[in-house]
Structure 1
Amino acid sequence: MKMRVKAAMIPVVLLSAAVWSLTHSTATQVGLRNKVLVFPFETDFSYVALVPQKDMALQAFTLCLRVATELPEERQIILFAYRTSDYDELNVWREKDGRVSFYMSGDGTFYHLPPLSTFRTSLCLTWESRTGLAAFWVEGKRSTYQVYKPGHSIRPKGTVLLGQDPDKHLGGLEATQSFVGELTDLNMWDFVLSRSLIQAWHYGHKIPKGNIFDWATIKYELSGNVMVVDDD
C-alpha cells in the first residue's frame, strides 16, 4: 500500500459523514463537454466519482486534464485518485514541496514541474509497463523520463474520485488533502499517446477520444459541494 504521512487525523464523526457521502452520491450524469468542475471549498466530503468506459486493468495509460488552483504550494493536493479495496492503484498528487507525483500500489515517483497556479495548466501523465517509462507533460512539453515499476499492472474494479483521496475503499477522506480549484477536460486512454497527439490535445485540436474517460461523454456522480459551470 502507498505509505504517506498524514497531516492530521480527522474526527470520527467527520469520517462517518464522509463514508455516508460516498454511498449516497447523486444519480449518474453523462457528459461534461464545455463544462468545468469547480471545487470551491476545502472539505472532507465533496468529490466527483467517475465511471470508466472500460475495465481499468491497465499495462499503459495516458491521463490528461486541465487544472487551476490557488492553494499554496505547501498544501498537499490530490489531483486524481483510483483505488481498489486494498491499494491506491493510481494517485496523482501535488506534494507539500511543490513537486508533482504519482503512486501505483506503493512508493511514488516525483517530478519538478512548473507550479500549478490560478491560471489553467494542461497536464498529462504517461506510463507503460513494458519499459516502466513515465513522464508528465505540461502545456504539451514532456518532463524527463523516469523508470517506474516496469512489469506492473493496474488492477480493475476500483473507484475513481476527483477532489478527494480515499484512504480505504469508499471512505477515509481528509479535508487537508482535498482539491480546491477547477478541473476540466479530463481524458484517459489505455495506451501512451504520441507527442504529437498530446500537443494537439493541449491546443484543443481533435484527437481520438479517450477510451477510458472522454470528457464529452463521461459518466459521473457529484457529491457534496461541487459545481458544474460553463467553460467560458
Structure 2
Amino acid sequence: MKQLLVLLASLCIGHAVQKDLSEKVFTFPVAGHSANVKLVPVGEAPLTALTMCMRFFSTHTGSQSLFSMALPSNPDAFFLFKPSLGVYRLHINGEPLDIKGLPDELNEWNSVCWTWSSNNGLTTLWVNRKRSARKALGANFSFRGRLSIILGQDQDSYGGMFDASQAFVGDITDVHLWSSVLTPCEIRSFMDGGLFTSGNLLNWKNLQYSTSGRVHEETSDFGQMC
C-alpha cells in the first residue's frame, strides 16, 4: 500500500511546473475538498532539523490547514494547522502541540516561521515577530522517505483524503523550507520582508509545484503601498 501511495505521488510530481513566484500568491477563494497546491521539495530525507516560513492572509475564523507535510508512514509528519482563531497546532510525527497567545490577524498578512530540531526536540513558532515558548516535540525523530507537501488541505492520508472543513481560505505566499534551524535574526529578516537566504528544500523564487481544484495564482500585495 505504501509503495502505491509513493507511486501516485510521483505521478502527480510529473505534472508540476517550476517558476519564480516572487510577488505572487496562491489564492484559495472558497472552502472545498479539492483545491490544493502540491510542492516538490529539493533533495531527499533523512532530515533532522527544519524551518518552515510562509505568509498567509485570511478572514476565515474556522479551522484550516496552513502547511501539510506527510510521509508514507505518517500523514501528520510536519503539519501546521489552525483549529480555531488564535490557536496554532503543530504536529511532528503525528504528535500535536497547541500554541496560544501569538498574533492571528484577520484581514491582514501574517508572517509565520516554525523551527524544529530532532536533537533535543525543541520547537518554536514565530508569528509577526513574536515567538512562542520553546517546547519539546518529536525528539530523536527523523524524516525518512519521499515527502508529500501540500498547501491548502490537511492530508488525512499520504497525498490526499482531504476534508473541506479543514481547507484553507485566503492567500498564501513566500513559502520556504530549510533543512536547518534559522537564527532569530534570519527569521526577523524574513518577517520584515528583508534579505534572507531562500530555503534549500522549498524556494518560493524557484518553486516546483502543481495545482488542483479552485486555486488562482495572483499578484501579491504584501508590503506594497500604492
Q: Which residue of structure 1 lines up, in the alignment, with residue 108 of structure 2? A: 119
Report if the CA contact (8 A) 2:72-2:145 is conserved: no
1:44 is matched with: 33
Structure 1 residues 113-172: Cα deviation after superposition (integer angstroms, max 9, x where no partner): 222421001010001011111111112222111111211112330310001112112321
* SS, match of residue 125 in structure 2: strand
Instruction: State the Cα deviation string for residues 64-117 of structure 1 (Å, max 9, x = none).
Output: 001111111xx2111111112230211110113641011122221111122242
CA distance in 2, matches of 1:183, 1:41: 14
> How many residues in Structure 1 have an aligned counterpart in Structure 2?
210
User: Of 133, 139, 142, which residue of structure 2 is paired with 1:150?
Assistant: 139
User: Who is 1:85 aligned against?
Assistant: 72
The secondary structure found in structure 2 opposite 1:212 is coil
- The AA in structure 2 aligned to 1:35 is K
Counterpart position of 1:225: 214
1:94 to 82, 91, 94: 82
Letter in 1 for 2:65: I
**Residue identity in the other structure for 2:81:** W
Q: TM-score, normalised by structure 2?
A: 0.87
Q: Match for residue 174 of structure 2?
A: 185
Percent identity over the alignment is 30
Tell me which of 94, 109, 116 is aligned to 2:97: 109
The 1-side partners of 2:15 and 2:139 are apart by 38
CA distance in 2, matches of 1:192, 1:157: 21
Q: 1:26 to 1:181 in 2, by over 3 A?
A: farther
Contact 1:46 1:225 in 2 (8 A): yes
Decide whether aligned partners of structure 1 residues 158 and 27 sit closer, same or farther in structure 2, where only a CA change above 3 A counts: closer
SS in 1 for 2:186: helix
Structure 2 equivalent of residue 54 of structure 1: 43
Judging by fraction of residues, say which structure has more strand.
Answer: 2
Q: Partners of 1:165 and 1:120 in 2: how far apart? A: 21
- What is the CA-CA distance between 1:23 and the residue it aligns to? 5.2
- Cα distance in 2 between the residues matched to 1:116 and 1:101: 16
- Counterpart code for 1:146: K
SS in 2 for 1:216: helix
Query: What TM-score do you get using the length of structure 1 for normalisation?
Result: 0.85
Equivalent position SS for 1:95: strand
Hey, what's the Cα distance between the residues in 2 that align with 1:230 and 1:97?
26
Q: Please give the alpha-carbon distance, in whole angstroms, between the structure 1 residues aligned to 2:151 and 2:110.
A: 16
Kindly tell me: are residues 131 and 204 of structure 1, through their superposed partners in 2, closer, same or farther at Cα, counting changes over 3 Å?
same
**Unpaired segments of 5 or more residues in structure 1?**
1-18
Residues 86, 168 of structure 1: 8 Å contact kept? no
Code of the residue aligned with 2:67 in structure 1: it is F
Alpha-carbon separation, structure 1, partners of 2:163 and 2:65: 10
Q: Name whichever of 120-129 and 85-94 sits farther off.
A: 85-94
